[in-house]
Structure 1
Amino acid sequence: MLTLINRLKSDEALMLAYQRGDTAAFDCLYRRHKDGLFAFLYRSCSRHAIVEELAQDAWVGVINSAPTYKTEARFRTWLYQIAHNRLVDFWRRRDNQHTDLENAPEPATAINPAATDELARQLMNAIGQLPNEQRDALLLQEQGFSQREIADITRCAEETVKSRLRYARKQLRQQVGDEL
């Protein structure tokens, strides 16, 4: 059971507690970040089963890297860097296999109301067609990360992030129009 004390601690303090063996601290971190992490991954790859696997791999990465965690970066930035790396690995495997699992039809399980909205569909399609680096930068910014944090997560210069965001927005405007 999560204690009130754990719920009030910073992510970094919780991760350090987990390093010392406090599994309740990890549970608290997981509950805080699972939905945002899933949303980030889902926007990059809309296949639910693949996103679940990528998210699980990211959390396993947190567990495996816990002994070496340092508070130099925010926990959230560190977590998304791990998830981003898993996503890049997925794209590389997919490109090497010459298959496009991401665009294969998702099994019909539930109706997504946003899918019926034409603009939302156009926007999601346009985001899906962005180069991976631009899409990552755009989606991380949408998750609330600063340009500096995006640079840390994607391991590139902050100016590169600015360029990727600018090109992504330009391409989205060209494909979807000025409704954005």
Structure 2
Amino acid sequence: MHVHSETSDGDLMRAYAAGDTLAFEALYDRHALPLWRFLQRQLQNPALSDDLAQDVWFSVVRQAAGYQELARFRTWLFTLAHHRLVDHWRRHKPLASLDAHTEDGAALADTLAAESGFGPERRLDSREQAQALLDALACLPELQRTAFLLQAEGGFSVADIAKATGVTLETARSRLRYARARLRETLEAFA
């Protein structure tokens, strides 16, 4: 199979299941950064985010042969990530300090802005805005934060969020609404 940017994720996954390793590389290139950012925003720990992301990708490899396109590949991938987070939180206390630094010494707030070309997340203008957003995200209840980050980092629709988290459409909608309202209220000073 010739892999190019217009091949659907589902076609790539089926090609990978049939033995095309370039198809897996294309999937990984498309989804690795948003997946890692989703995990990092939840965990605030780059090494742990790396570990969980790697575990998610290993799950993709293990499940490739039986993959059925019941939802978009991205929805399935982020659902796997959500389940890994839930498993991790059951075993450990959630969230490291927002004052933590990445392995290269950068403050977590400095890692917040997305590189151009990686989705709808807008670039933040200053370190203060980035830190304020991190602080506001950390203050959200876990379920609201998860819903918000699935949409912001994963590009999920409300229906996708409901499916990934195992709740009704209205519950997912409410979690997003409350998360946005709380973030808007907290970040009013930067508007």
Q: TM-score range by the shorter chain?
A: 0.7 to 0.9
> Aligned match of 1:29 in 15, 27, 30?
27
Q: Offset of 1:15 from its aligned partner?
A: 0.5
Q: Offset of 1:151 from its aligned partner?
A: 1.3
Structure 1 residue 138 corresponds to structure 2 residue 148: yes
Q: Would the alpha carbon gap of residues 82 and 178 (structure 1) be closer, same or farther in structure 2, given more than 3 Å must change?
A: same
Q: Distance in 2 between matches of 1:82 and 1:112?
A: 28
Q: Distance in 1 between matches of 2:189 and 2:164?
A: 30
Task: Please give the TM-score of this superposition, normalised by the length of structure 2.
Answer: 0.81
> Aligned match of 1:6 in 3, 9, 30?
3
15-24 vs 48-57, greater mean Cα deviation? 15-24
Q: Distance in 2 between matches of 1:173 and 1:79?
A: 29
Gaps of 5+ in 1: none
Task: Please give the TM-score of this superposition, normalised by the length of structure 1.
Answer: 0.85
| Residue identity (%) | 43
> Aligned match of 1:160 in 157, 171, 175?
171
RMSD over aligned Cα atoms:
2.2
> Aligned match of 2:181 in 158, 170, 176?
170
117-126 vs 82-91, greater mean Cα deviation? 117-126
Q: Distance in 2 between matches of 1:170 and 1:113?
A: 24
Superposed counterparts of 1:54-65, under 5 Å: 54-65=52-63
The letter for the 2-side match of 1:74 is: R
Q: Would the alpha carbon gap of residues 107 and 25 (structure 1) be closer, same or farther in structure 2, given more than 3 Å must change?
A: closer
- Answer 1 or 2: which has greater helix percent: 1
Gaps of 5+ in 2: 111-125
Q: Distance in 1 between matches of 2:103 and 2:147?
A: 30
> Aligned match of 1:111 in 103, 106, 112?
106
Q: Distance in 1 between matches of 2:163 and 2:96?
A: 26
Q: Distance in 2 between matches of 1:23 and 1:158?
A: 36
Q: Distance in 1 between matches of 2:49 and 2:106?
A: 18
Work out whether residues 94 and 101 of structure 1, in 8 Å CA contact, stay in contact via their aligned partners in 2: no
SS at 2:3 equivalent:
helix
Q: Offset of 1:113 from its aligned partner?
A: 8.9
The letter for the 1-side match of 2:82 is: H
Q: Offset of 1:131 from its aligned partner?
A: 1.7
75-84 vs 61-70, greater mean Cα deviation? 61-70
